[in-house]
Structures are given as C-alpha cells and as structure tokens.
C-alpha cells in the first residue's frame, strides 16, 4: 500500500470515528434569559432555542366538555405559567378569584399553577420540528406526588388502516390518542425534584412528545400507581439525542490533528 493510500485510509477512519450517530442537546423552560418568556395566564406556548433544534412547548388539558365525568372531555390548549421551577399550566376552566371557584380551580393556588391531574389531566406538547430521541427530563417543583406520563407521536395504531393518524390534540379525548398515532412511552413514578430522570427506554424517535402528570386514560399498566390524582409538577428541562447531526467543533479539531499527524508520517516515510 502506498503512503498516499495509507494517508487517505487513516483520514477516513478518523473522520468516521468522529461522526456521531446522534448529537445530545438540552432545553430549559424555567424563567430566565434565553428560556420561556411569556406573560402568565395569557398565552398557551413558548419557543426555546438551543444549539440543536428549536422546540415549541404548548399546554393542553381535557377541559373542553360538560357533565360529571371530566375523563370524557376533549383536549384544548391551556395557559402557560413560567416559574423558577419550570413551566406549569393554568386551565381555561380555572379562575382568578377565590370567591367564584374552589381552590382546585384558582390560578394562584397549588396545584392549579402546575401540570397536574387534579380534576383534569394537564400535559405539555413539545414540537421539535424534526425527529429527536427524548431521553431525560427534570422537574423543578412538585406537589404532593410527582408521577408522570410520557407519549410520543409515532403514526402507528388502528389509524393506519383508515389513514386517520394525526398528531393533532385539539378535539380528541386522551383515550383516543393511542388509536390516533400516539404511543405510550411510559408512566414514571415519584419523579425526583431537580434531578435527571431517564425516560424512553425503547429509544423511540419523534418530532412530537407529550409530557404530563400521571394519566391512566392513555392506557398502559398502572400497577403501583395510586388513584388519588394528586400529582403536580413543573417541567424544568429536557434532553434528547438528535440523529444525524454534524460533528461538534471538538470532533472536527480531532480530525484535523489526525490528518496533520498522518501528513508528517507520510513525509518521513
């Protein structure tokens, strides 16, 4: 093998070794510069940038309906609250005056300012605009309990046969989601405060993710989870792998150094 071919082979090996199958990124939602910055109780979403894809977070809850069984109500957007502990939700059927509603509906009282499952089930939809493999989350505030549920839109289920799969949430019941293209990633018990909690053991990739308080309406095993509906959290941050991202500058520098060393080897030969 000639020295030139050796040089080319070495450069190729170094370059392929430096190319990651996926790059890791994180996004923070707590109040502060470069994070969610929206007036509380007046808007449903915010957009957060990072070195990776931009993510738009939108609050949803099953508050669209009437009658005694709120489990049958359909999803609609809620109002976002941004706090030092992360983002929470103010439901559209809530209120700002204690004289006109009970404490469970009052914006300023726990758990109404959080993502909770008291009376209705709250969730936050994360739209990355590209497929990502969500792998962890962190909460910065919790109520009495902090069980959580995570779903991803995969375009699978009974909707495939009828071509009705859709990531759209508005107008659907939670119990409709897994027949509309959404997949349950998992229920997670007792999520710790200000800690990194690993999720998505199945390595699912999706552009759309739904994170909420523990929600048995979406299916899956609920063994070990209580039915008290006292879970409440504020989502502080998330992390994900983004398939096919280009090498980071440090990796490119490594390749450059390798090529320089190979060139010196070639000249000495």
At 217 the three-state DSSP class reads helix
Contact between 202 and 144 under an 8 Å Cβ cutoff? The reply is no
pLDDT tens, position by position, 12-70 = 444 444 445 679 999 999 987 567 877 666 899 999 988 899 999 999 999 999 999 99
Of 89 and 92, which is predicted with more confidence? 89
Torsion of CA 162, 167, 173, 179, to 10 degrees: 40
Q: What angle do CA 137, 142, 145 make, to 5 degrees?
A: 100
pLDDT of residue 245: 65
Determine the Cα–Cα distance for residues 90 and 74; give it in Å rounded to an integer.
Answer: 16
Q: What is the mean pLDDT of residues 83-110?
A: 70
pLDDT of residue 37: 72
**Mean pLDDT estimate for the chain:** 84
pLDDT of residue 64: 96
**What is the pTM (predicted TM-score) of this model?**
0.83
pLDDT tens, position by position, 106-134 = 555 656 789 999 989 999 999 999 999 99
Please provide residue 55's backbone torsions phi and psi, each rounded to the nearest 5 degrees.
-120, 135
pLDDT of residue 161: 97
Q: Give the list of residues 6+ apart from residue 173 with CB closer than 8 angstroms, or none.
A: 62, 71, 72, 73, 74, 75, 217
Question: Does residue 154 register a pLDDT over 90?
Answer: yes
Closest by Cα among 155, 158, 265, 138 to 205: 155
pLDDT of residue 187: 98
Tokens, residue 109? 């009282």
Beta bridge partners of 48: 55
The model's confidence at residue 244, banded by pLDDT at 50, 70 and 90, is confident
pLDDT of residue 111: 66
Determine the Cα–Cα distance for residues 184 and 206; give it in Å rounded to an integer.
Answer: 12
Q: Give the list of residues 6+ apart from residue 32 with CB closer than 8 angstroms, or none.
A: none
pLDDT of residue 3: 56
- Of the ranges 19-33, 150-164, 177-191, 200-214, which one carries the lowest mean pLDDT score? 19-33
- Of the ranges 11-15, 73-77, 118-122, 232-236, which one carries the lowest mean pLDDT score? 11-15
Question: Does residue 166 register a pLDDT over 50?
Answer: yes
Please provide residue 121's backbone torsions phi and psi, each rounded to the nearest 5 degrees.
-105, 120
List Cβ<8 Å contacts ≥24 apart for 42-49. Answer: 42/79, 43/79, 43/80, 44/77, 44/78, 44/79, 44/80, 45/77, 45/80, 46/80, 46/82, 46/87
pLDDT tens, position by position, 210-230 = 999 999 999 999 999 999 999
Tokens, residue 69? 């069984």
Contact between 6 and 224 under an 8 Å Cβ cutoff? The reply is no
Closest by Cα among 57, 220, 52 to 130: 52
Determine the Cα–Cα distance for residues 62 and 43; give it in Å rounded to an integer.
Answer: 17
Tokens, residue 224? 């070990």
Determine the Cα–Cα distance for residues 140 and 183; give it in Å rounded to an integer.
Answer: 26
């Amino acid at each position: 093998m000639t020295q030139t071919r050796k040089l080319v082979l070495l450069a190729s090996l170094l370059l392929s070794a430096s190319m990651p199958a996926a790059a890791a990124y994180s996004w923070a939602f707590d109040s502060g510069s470069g994070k969610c910055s929206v007036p509380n109780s007046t808007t449903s979403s915010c957009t957060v940038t990072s070195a990776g894809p931009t993510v738009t977070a939108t609050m949803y809850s099953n508050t669209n309906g009437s009658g005694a069984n709120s489990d049958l109500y359909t999803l609609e957007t809620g109002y976002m609250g941004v706090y030092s502990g992360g983002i929470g939700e103010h439901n559209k059927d809530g209120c700002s005056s204690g004289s006109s509603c009970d404490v469970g509906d009052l914006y300023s009282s726990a758990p109404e300012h959080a993502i909770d499952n008291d009376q209705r089930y709250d969730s936050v939809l994360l739209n990355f605009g590209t497929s990502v493999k969500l792998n962890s989350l962190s909460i910065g505030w919790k109520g009495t309990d902090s069980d959580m549920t995570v779903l991803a839109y995969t375009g699978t289920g009974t909707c495939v046969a009828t071509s009705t799969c859709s990531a759209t949430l508005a107008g659907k019941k939670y119990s409709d989601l897994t027949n509309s293209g959404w997949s349950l990633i998992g229920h997670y018990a007792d999520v710790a405060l200000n800690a990194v909690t690993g999720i998505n053991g199945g390595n699912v990739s999706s552009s759309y993710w739904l994170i909420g308080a523990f929600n048995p309406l979406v299916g899956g095993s609920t063994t070990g989870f209580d039915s008290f509906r006292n879970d409440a959290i504020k989502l502080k941050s998330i992390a994900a792998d983004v398939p096919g991202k280009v090498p980071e500058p440090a990796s490119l520098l490594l390749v450059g150094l390798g090529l320089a060393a190979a060139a010196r080897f070639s000249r000495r030969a």
